[in-house]
Amino acid sequence: MQHGRYRFIVGFLVAPLALYAVFVIWPFIQAIYYSFTDWTGLSPDFKMVGFGNYTRMLKDDIFWKSLQHSVILVLVLPLVTLSLALFFAFMLNVGGRRRKNAAVSGVRGSGFYKIAYFFPQVLSIVIVALLFQFAYNPRSGMLNSALKGIGLGSVQPDWLGDPSLALICVMVVLVWSTVGFFVVLFSAGMASIPKDFYEAALLDGASRVTTFFKITVPLLWDTIQSGWVYMGILALGVEAFTAVQVMTVGPGGPDYSTSILPLYVYQTAFRDGQAGYATTIGVGLLIVTMAFAAVVMRLGRRERLEF
Amino acid sequence: MGSTSAHKNEGLGRRDVIKRSAALGLITVPTMSFLSACASGDSGSDETVKKGKTSAKNPLGVNETAALDVVIFDGGFGEQYAIDAEKKYTAAFPKAKVKHTATQKIQSQLQPRFNGGTPPDLIDNSGAEQMDMGVLVGKKQLLDLTPLMDAPSIDDPSKKVRDTLRPGVLEMGQFEGDPVWIMYYAYTVYGVWYSQTGLEKLDAEYPENWDDMLALCAKAKKQGIAGWTYAGKYPYYLPFSLYPFIAKIGGREVLDKIDNLEPNAWKDPAVKAAFEAYYELYKKGYILQGTPGLTHIQSQTEWTKGKALFIPNGSWVENEAAPTTPKDFKMMVAAPSGLDSSDKMPFGTIWASGGEPFVVPAKAKNPQGGMEQLRIMLSEESSKNFTQQVKSLSAFNGGTDGLTLSTAMQAGVDALKKAGDNVVNPRLQDWYVKLQKEQIGTAGLGEMMAGRLTPTEAIKKIQGFADAAAKDQSIKHYKHQ
C-alpha cells in the first residue's frame, strides 16, 4: 500500500525530477568536484589538490568574517522583516477601530498603504540599491541633509563609509525593499482566517495585542514559516549579494565590514582567478544554508490548528 | 474551509513532499546560482586559420579572407576609436569580415570562451571585470606579441613598432623574460589633479613641498574649502599620488621593493614619512567632510564644484568628470609635492604608465589578424583619433602635434616632459590586484585616511597583507627585472 503510493507520486514526478537532476543536482556535484582542484576559471587545465582549498579556507580571516556577516543577515533579516510585515498586515486587516458596522477591519486608508508597502517590490534590487546609495551620500545625501535640516549639522555620519554602520545600512535597505511583499502575503493569509474568530474574541473583550498573538499568529503559522524560508534565501543569496555589491563598492565595505559569502565567492572566482577555491567557499555557503534550513524546519514544527 | 494537513501516520503526505522539495530548493538556490556559473566547458577543437603570405604591406602574414573577432571594453573610453580602426582593417583586407563586440562584462562574457578554447582574436581586457593577467599568462592563454613589436610601423617602414612606443609601455606588457604578453594602448598620467582657476582664486601656486601644501590647505580652510578629497569608497585611488610621493622621498628602489613583496618593504622610513604627511591632512581637517563615504564619481563632483582643491586621480578623470566640470575650471595635473629638500628624487617625479591592456589569446583563430589590428591602432592617424575622441594619450609616442589639447591634456604632456626619466611605474595594481585594491587600498589606506588607523598601525597591517601575499602559493609572484 505504502509502496504503491510512492510509486504513484514518483510516477508523476519523473520528468521534473529528471530536469532537477540534470540542472540542479549535477552542477552541484560538479561544483563539489571543482572544490578539490586548483582550477583558475580562465583555462581548461587544472589538477587535483586534495583538501588544500579546505585547509586554506579554515585559515582565511576574510572567509570567517564573511561567514559571520552572512549568519547575521540570515538571523536578523527574517526576524525584522517578518515582524514588521506581520505588524503592518495585522493593522491593515484587523487592527482598525470598529466602523461601518464591520466587526473586523483595517485602519483608515489601508487600501492605500497596501499599495505603498508593495511599491518597492516592483523595483529591481539594483535600482533600490543605487537610489539608497544616493541617500547615504555623506555630502549631499538625503539623510545627512535631513540631519542638517533639523539642526544636527554636527552629526554627519559617513554611513556606507563607516565600518560600524555599513552593514546596518545594507540591512535597512533589504528590509525596506522586501517588507511589502510579506505584507501582501500575510494579508492574503489573514483574509482566509474566519471572521467569527475575531468577532468572538472581541465579544470576549480581547485586546488587539491578545488577538494578534492568540489568533492571527497561530493561524498564520504555515505562511510565516514559508516566509521565513523565502527570506532566508534572499539573505543568503542573490538579493543580499546585489545590495552589497552595488552599495558598498570598495568592495565589501570599508575594512571588509559588509563582506558576505556570495560576494566572496564572486570575487574569488571572477576577480582573483581562483575558481577552484571559490567553489570551496561555495561549499561553505552550502553548509550554512543547509544548517539554516534544518533549523527552520525543526523549530517551525508545530501542532496544526484545524479550522 | 478545511485543512488538508498531513496525517500523523508515517505516509508521505503532499505537504511533506512540498516541504522537503522546498528545503532542497532552499539549499541549492543560493549556492548553485554561483557555482554552476563556473562550470567549465569542453576544449575547443577548432583549428586556427591558415597564415597568409607576408609582404611589405602585410608583414605579419594576415590571412586576407579570415574573419576577425574583436572584443572591446566599453568603459570610460567608449568603443568608437576601435570601430574606426577596424574600418581601416577592412579597407586593407576587403575580404575579411570583422566582428566587433563591446561590453563592460569582459570576464563573464569571455571566461566561458577561454575555458572552451574558442577565445576572440583581440581583447581590450579592462574595467571592473578585467581578467587577471597574471593567471592568463601563467596558464599560457596569451600570445607572445613579439612579432608585432618587431614588425615595421605603418607610418615609417624603417622603424619597428617597438620603437614608436612611449617609455615603459613595452616593459609593462612583460612579466618575466622577453615575451610581450600585453599591449597597453592608452597612456595614463597619474598624480594630483587640481583647478588652476581654484588656485588663482586663493592667490596660490601649486605647492612643491609639504610645508607649502599644508599652508595652502590652511588658507583654503579659512574660506571653507577643503584641501583634499578622494574616492573614499575606492581608496585605492590614493596611491596615484602617494606612491610617486614615496619614491620621491626615498628613491624608486623603495617602490621596487614593495612591488617585489620583499620583507619589511613597507617599513622603509620613506613610507612612514609619506603616510604621516597624508595622515596630517586628516588630523588638521583638510580632508573634505564625508569623503570616506563617497564614490569616485561623487568625490570628483565635489571637486569640480570647488569644494576641495586636490584629488589623486588618473588622466581618464577629464573625460569622466566632463559632465560636471564648469567651463572656467582649467583642469590641471601635477606631480606630487615633495616632503622637503632631503628628498632623493626631484620635484616632477610622477607615475605614468600604460592603460587599456589589449591581448591576443594563444588559442585565437586569427592571431595574425589580432596583431595586425593592434599595428593599425598604433599608427599616428589612429592614435590621434583616439586622443581627440577620449582625451587621453595613447601608447604611440608623440602624435599630439597639430592637435589642440585641453588644459588637462597639456598639463599631462608638460608633466611628462618635466619628469623626464623620473617616471615611476609601480606594478602592484597589475600584478596583485587583490592586494592593491582591497587590502592596501580599502583596508589599509582607506582606514588610515578616515582616521581609524594611525600611520604606524596602517603600515603594520599592510606589511602583514604583503607578507601573506608573498607566502601565498596560489598567486603567481613577479619581480622587477
Angstrom distance (rounded) from CA B406 to CA B391: 8
Within 8 A of A266 by CB-CB distance, chain B residues are: 34
Which helix or strand (DSSP H or E) is residue B333 part of? strand B331-334
- The reply to whether residue B290 touches residue A161, judged by beta carbons under 8 angstroms, is yes
- B167 grid coordinates: 617609455
Mutate to test the interface with A, among B12, B27, B311, B448 (most CBs of A within 10 A): B27
B13 at the A interface (CB within 8 A)? Answer: no
Angstrom distance (rounded) from CA B408 to CA B334: 10
Q: Band of the pLDDT at A110, cuts 50, 70, 90? A: confident
- B328 grid coordinates: 572656467
Mean pLDDT score, A8-12: 82
For residue A37, give the 3-state DSSP assignment. Answer: strand
B324 at the A interface (CB within 8 A)? Answer: no
- A86 grid coordinates: 506581520
Angstrom distance (rounded) from CA B291 to CA B448: 13
A248 at the B interface (CB within 8 A)? Answer: yes
- For chain A, what percent of residues have pLDDT higher than 90? 29
Q: Evaluate whether B151 touches B58 at the Cβ level (below 8 Å).
A: no
For residue B4, give the 3-state DSSP assignment. Answer: coil
User: In this structure, what are the phi and psi dihedrals at residue B356, rounded to the nearest 5 degrees?
Assistant: 50, 75
Which residues share a beta bridge with B333? B193
Chain B residue with CA closest to A60: the answer is B468
- The reply to whether residue B298 touches residue A31, judged by beta carbons under 8 angstroms, is no
- B93 grid coordinates: 583586407
The angle at the Cα of B436, spanning B435 to B441, to the nearest 5 degrees, equals 110
B215 at the A interface (CB within 8 A)? Answer: no
The amino acid occupying position B308 is A
The number of beta carbons lying within 10 Å of the beta carbon of residue B336 is 30
- The reply to whether residue A279 touches residue B38, judged by beta carbons under 8 angstroms, is yes
Q: Classify the C-alpha dihedral B269-B271-B274-B277 as positive or negative.
A: negative
Smallest CA–CA distance, residue A147 to chain B, in Å, is 14
pLDDT for the residue A102: 61
**Among the ranges given (A64-78, A122-136, A241-255, B171-185), the one the predictor scored with the smallest mean pLDDT:** A241-255
The amino acid occupying position A242 is T
pLDDT for the residue A99: 57
The number of beta carbons lying within 10 Å of the beta carbon of residue A170 is 27
Smallest CA–CA distance, residue B6 to chain A, in Å, is 9
Angstrom distance (rounded) from CA B286 to CA B215: 11
pLDDT tens across B103-119, in order? 988 888 898 898 888 99
Angstrom distance (rounded) from CA A161 to CA A136: 9
For residue A50, give the 3-state DSSP assignment. Answer: coil
User: In this structure, what are the phi and psi dihedrals at residue B98, rounded to the nearest 5 degrees?
Assistant: -105, 125
- A132 grid coordinates: 539608497
For residue B347, give the 3-state DSSP assignment. Answer: coil
A269 at the B interface (CB within 8 A)? Answer: yes
According to DSSP, the β-strands at B308-313 and B226-228 are parallel
Angstrom distance (rounded) from CA A110 to CA A88: 10
Q: Evaluate whether B236 touches B441 at the Cβ level (below 8 Å).
A: yes
Q: What is the ipTM of this complex?
A: 0.80
- The reply to whether residue B438 touches residue A248, judged by beta carbons under 8 angstroms, is no
- B2 grid coordinates: 478545511
Go through B236-258 and write b for each residue having 16 or more CB atoms within 10 A of its CB, e for each that does not. bbbbbbbbbbbbbbbbbebbbbb
- The reply to whether residue A233 touches residue B115, judged by beta carbons under 8 angstroms, is no
Nearest CA among B360, B440, B451 for reference residue B137: B360
CA distances to A81, A83, A221, A231 from A213, rounded to whole Å, are 17, 12, 11, 22
Go through A67-78 and write b for each residue having 16 or more CB atoms within 10 A of its CB, e for each that does not. bebbbebbebbb
According to DSSP, the β-strands at B350-359 and B423-424 are parallel
Angstrom distance (rounded) from CA B11 to CA A4: 11
A83 CB-near residues (< 8 Å, 6+ apart): none
Angstrom distance (rounded) from CA B82 to CA B87: 9
Q: Evaluate whether B38 touches B108 at the Cβ level (below 8 Å).
A: no
pLDDT at A163 over 70: yes
Angstrom distance (rounded) from CA B11 to CA A6: 9
Nearest CA among A25, A45, A66 for reference residue A278: A66
Nearest CA among B250, B254, B274 for reference residue B265: B254
Angstrom distance (rounded) from CA B87 to CA A124: 39
Give me the torsion for CA of B386, B387, B391, B392, rounded to 10°.
90
Q: Evaluate whether B310 touches B193 at the Cβ level (below 8 Å).
A: yes
Angstrom distance (rounded) from CA B251 to CA B345: 6
Residue with cell 552595488: A246
- A33 grid coordinates: 568536484
- The reply to whether residue A24 touches residue B292, judged by beta carbons under 8 angstroms, is no
Predicted TM-score of the model (pTM): 0.82
- What is the number of residues in chain A? 307
- The reply to whether residue B108 touches residue A270, judged by beta carbons under 8 angstroms, is yes
pLDDT string in tens for chain B (481-residue length) = 334 344 444 445 555 655 665 555 555 554 544 444 444 444 444 567 888 888 888 999 999 899 999 999 988 788 999 999 999 999 999 999 999 999 988 888 898 898 888 999 999 998 878 888 888 888 889 999 999 999 999 998 999 999 999 888 998 898 878 899 999 999 999 999 999 999 999 999 999 999 999 999 999 999 999 999 999 999 999 999 999 999 999 999 999 999 999 999 999 999 999 999 999 999 999 999 999 999 899 999 999 999 999 999 998 899 889 999 999 999 999 999 999 999 999 999 999 999 899 999 999 999 999 999 999 999 999 999 999 888 889 999 887 878 888 999 999 999 999 998 899 999 998 888 889 988 999 999 999 999 999 999 999 999 999 999 999 888 888 888 7
Angle between the N-to-C axes of helices A221-236 and A61-93, in degrees from 0 to 180, rounded to the nearest 10: 150
Angstrom distance (rounded) from CA B329 to CA B309: 11
pLDDT for the residue B5: 40
A199 or B281, higher pLDDT: B281
Within 8 A of B19 by CB-CB distance, chain A residues are: 297
CA max distance for chain B:
92
Within 8 A of A255 by CB-CB distance, chain B residues are: 442-443, 446-447, 452
Q: Which positions 260-319 of B are in contact with A (Cβ < 8 Å)?
A: 288-295, 298, 302, 307
Where are the extended beta strands (E) located within B345-446? 350-359, 393-394, 423-424
Q: Which positions 395-434 of B are in contact with A (Cβ < 8 Å)?
A: 433-434
- The reply to whether residue B39 touches residue A237, judged by beta carbons under 8 angstroms, is no
What contacts 24+ positions apart, CB below 8 Å, involve B207-215? B207/B337, B208/B337, B208/B338, B208/B347, B209/B337, B209/B338, B209/B339, B209/B340, B209/B341, B209/B347, B210/B277, B210/B337, B210/B338, B210/B339, B210/B340, B211/B340, B212/B337, B213/B337, B214/B280, B214/B284, B214/B286
Q: Evaluate whether B77 touches B129 at the Cβ level (below 8 Å).
A: no
Q: Classify residue A127 by its DSSP letter.
A: H
B281 CB-near residues (< 8 Å, 6+ apart): B217, B227, B228, B287, B449
Residue with cell 514559508: A226
The amino acid occupying position B3 is S
